[in-house]
Amino acid sequence: MKKTDDFTCMTKGFDLDQAMAEAERCLLCYDAPCSKGCPAETDPGTFIRKLRLKNVTGAIRTIKENNILGGACGVLCPASRLCEKGCCASGIGRPIEIGKIQRALVEHSWTRNLQVLEKSAARNEKIAVVGSGPAGLSCAAELAKEGYGVTLFEARPEPGGVIRYGVPSYRFDLDFLERELADLKALEVEIRCNEPVEGQGGAEKLLQTGYSAVFLATGLWGTQRLKADTGQIGGLYTSVEFLASLRDQNLAQVRQQLAGKTVTVVGGGSVAMDCAEAAAKLGVKDVHLVYRRSFSLMPAEKEERIEVLDAGVHLQLLNQPVDFIVNDKGDIQGVKLVRTCLGEPDSSGRRSPEAIPDSEWVLETDIVIEAIGNQALADSPQWYPNVQVNEQRLVQVDSDSGQTSVAGIFAGGDIVRGPALVVEAVQDGKIAARGIMKYLAGKDV
């Protein structure tokens, strides 16, 4: 399989002129359905109206005041099923490309060095944010704008969470991320990397060391596995391990390790698509993607499914992995599969896969990447032992405020929702920031 294009750079988006031309197609709806369709309340109806009126700075201000990660969301959001889905322009043609306009405006602000966010007078209270993914960054920005001192604790070497370590560079490059983070740093948020808040009661101890409130946004860095105990199998990786390796400044080494190899990705969601397409772009021999349901029942976005086909990935649909084939050296040689058919709908609303008797076969492969779902780390409840969690180790919160069962501790993002969209995590951070401010003001949350 041939390397298809530059792995490290994103596709160029709209320039300002293209964004303005696209905005001219907007029907300027009074009660804009696009704004209702944005989970993070970025309000595209307003920023597109301002752009049409040539108020470029005002349009940028609307985006960044509502969404500190407006640029990232413009790149990564499945806009076609969110803000663009209800676009009234669809009735006379195609929906406005809102995500591309949003990205273009944010990039223009960086080109012009426009600082559109203002910071209120400093307050005495300090807030700790644990985790620097989208939810943590959003909460930190909302609180910092209101003058609160915010310290953001990150266990990894660099901030960004899943958008740094879980998305390939060709979809979202590091230069773009650093510019987005610069907008946060301008609000004087203190970011402490390589400082995990873990161990027995680590998060709760922050309340005893001068912080008035804590926001938990630790994300989901554990992975579901095909087999509970795989031991040390050579060539077997989790999606977290594989995608993070592509971000750790060792792309050339990964490319060399995969050269001439056959890679098999197990899963049908967006992460599986990223793993499969990334492997294809790295120039491996072949990439197979194994999924137990049909193409139309894959949880990944339609555009993502089409992209992996365009990249040359072979789809092994209606196949369920049941075991790994390992050689004498302990290295992967293949995946044992059983063919499936679709039965009645399950709790997800999708038809459930049923194994076909006597249909087992082996797919030969050198590398297997498991992308069948992320979960909370096994020891994560120990970090906040008095905070209520469910059987999946997800933190339980009040949906209107982000408040946990412990006064002063709030939470949001994937550690609450399970795997979700960046834009949903951004909104969780905003909701929690409002809840924290009410809590600090002595109001009922």
What is the pLDDT at residue 1? 66
Check whether 33 has a pLDDT greater than 90.
Answer: yes
Q: Pairing mode, if any, of strands 367-370 and 236-238?
A: parallel
Write the pLDDT tens digit of every residue in 62-78. 999 999 999 999 999 99
Query: Looking at 350, 372, 394, which one is the last position of a domain?
Result: 372
Q: Are residues 131 and 238 in the same domain?
A: no
What is the β-pairing status of strands 367-370 and 374-375? unpaired
Which pLDDT belongs to residue 110?
A: 95
**Three-class SS state of 314:** strand
Residue 39 resides in a domain:
yes
The whole-angstrom distance between residue 308's C-alpha and the CA centroid of its chain comes to 19
Rounded to 5 degrees, what angle do the CA atoms 69, 216, 396 make? Answer: 115
- Domain membership of residue 119 (yes or no) is no
CA-to-CA distance for 87 and 72, rounded, in angstroms? 21
Determine the 3-state secondary structure of 18 from DSSP.
Answer: helix
Q: Dump pLDDT digits (tens) for 358-397.
A: 999 999 999 999 999 999 999 999 999 999 999 999 999 9
Which residues are CB-neighbours of 316 under 8 A, at least 6 positions away?
Answer: 288, 289, 290, 291, 337, 363
**What length does the chain have?**
445
Give yes or no: residues 367 and 229 share one domain.
Answer: yes
- Give the pLDDT score at 250: 76
- Structural domain includes residue 117: no
CATH number at residue 268: 3.50.50.60
d(CA 254, CA 341): 36
**Do 310 and 357 reside in the same domain of the chain?**
yes
Q: Are residues 361 and 388 in the same domain?
A: no
- Looking at the fold, whether 211 and 229 belong to one and the same domain comes out as no
SS3 35: helix
Q: What is the largest CA-CA distance in the chain?
A: 71
Task: Collapse the DSSP code of 289 into the 3-class scheme (helix H, G, I; strand E, B; otherwise coil) and give the result.
Answer: strand
Q: Could you tell me if 346 and 422 lie in one domain?
A: no
Q: Retrieve residue 1's tokens.
A: 């399989």
Percent pLDDT > 90 in the chain is 86
How far, CA to CA in Å, does 362 sit from each of 81, 194, 326? Answer: 37, 42, 12
Contact present, 236 and 324 (Cβ < 8 Å): yes
Torsions phi, psi for 401 (to 5 deg): -135, -15
What does the block give as tokens for 378?
């096994």
Domain region containing 23: 16-111
What's the mean per-residue pLDDT of the chain? 94
Same domain, 209 and 257: no
Q: 359 and 294: one domain? A: yes
Full DSSP string of 158-193? SS-THHHHSS-TTTS-HHHHHHHHHHHHTTT-EEE-
- Residue-by-residue DSSP string for 222-283: EE--SSS---S-BTEEEHHHHHHHTTTT-HHHHHHHHTT-EEEEE--SHHHHHHHHHHHHTT
SS3 at position 111: helix
In the prediction, which pLDDT does 8 show?
Answer: 77
User: 265 and 132, same structural domain?
Assistant: no
Handedness of CA 65, 71, 77, 83 (dihedral sign): positive
Of 62, 43, 42, 51, which is closest to residue 16 (Cα–Cα)?
A: 51
Residue pair 73/426 in contact (Cβ under 8 Å)? The answer is: yes
pLDDT of residue 249: 64
> Strand pairing of 236-238 and 222-223?
unpaired
CA neighbor of 434 nearest in space, from 404, 403, 389: 403
Pairing of strands 319-326, 332-345: antiparallel
Q: Say which CATH number the domain at 72 has.
A: 1.10.1060.10
Average pLDDT over residues 114-123: 93
Within a domain: 2: no
CA 241-246-249 angle, 5° bins: 120
Q: pLDDT value at position 251?
A: 81
Average pLDDT rounded to a whole number, residues 411-440: 97
In terms of domains, do 320 and 211 share one?
A: no
What does the block give as tokens for 410? Answer: 């709030």
Number of domains within the chain: 3
Segment 255-264 mean pLDDT: 93
What pLDDT does 267 receive?
97
Residue 231 in this model has a pLDDT that exceeds 80: no
Same domain, 350 and 233: yes
